[in-house]
Amino acid sequence: MKVTGFVQNSAGSLTGRSRRSWRLLLFVLVVGVLLCFAISRWHDFALTLSGKPTSVPAVTSGTAAAGEDFFIEFRLDREKTQKEQIDMVKAIIDDNQASKEARDEAYREYLSIVDGMGKELKIEGILKAKGFDSIAVLTMDACAVVVRASSLDEKQVAQIGEAVRRITRLGLEKITVIPAPQ
């Protein structure tokens, strides 16, 4: 008997495979909510990047090792997290035991993740072409851009904001530009 996308056996309990699919979908959604929360608290994170001496790790040599560079580490962590999210969502999409609704929701989530990744990459590429090394973090309703610079003037912030607005179609009030000391 099928009830709202769950497969039940004669005793009325959910089958193991269906239960795992729903748990995986729930896990993906919880991770998404946590990421949205973390990004919504981006301004707190920006305080650590405000340029105060205690907020930036000191580099003793003239060049930083790859493990010591915030931008490199952040990009690697982001790529790893996005790959994990895609793998989890693909598992639901490919699970023939999952309900059509669960697979459709997973497919929508997959498209959302890939779209966000593409927009972040475009933002970073456009800003790199304009001379800014940056990291873009995009959510459904906001975008934060961390730029490798001790400070930014109004013209630079406007230039960055306009580039992000064109790619994301977000209002300027939903775009945050954060300078990160080198």
At which residue do the structure tokens 């972040």 appear?
120
What are the boundaries of each domain within the chain? 2-50+63-180
Is the predicted pLDDT of residue 126 greater than 60, yes or no? yes
pTM of the entire predicted model: 0.62
Pairwise CA distance, residues 3 & 25, whole Å: 18
Structure confidence at residue 69 (pLDDT): 85
Pairwise CA distance, residues 46 & 166, whole Å: 23
8 Å CB contact between 14 and 6 = yes
Write out the two tokens for 58.
């000191």
Q: For the domain covering 2-50+63-180, report its CATH number.
A: 1.10.287.4300
Please give the residue that has the higher pLDDT: either 164 or 57: 164
Structure confidence at residue 109 (pLDDT): 93
Tens digit of each residue's pLDDT (9 = 90 or more) over 40-94: 555 554 544 444 433 333 333 334 444 458 899 999 999 999 999 999 999 999 9
Q: Read off the pLDDT of each residue in 147-172 and give the average, rounded to a whole number.
A: 94
Pairwise CA distance, residues 177 & 36, whole Å: 18
Q: In the structure, what pLDDT confidence band is assigned to residue 17 with cuts at 50, 70 and 90?
A: low
8 Å CB contact between 81 and 4 = no
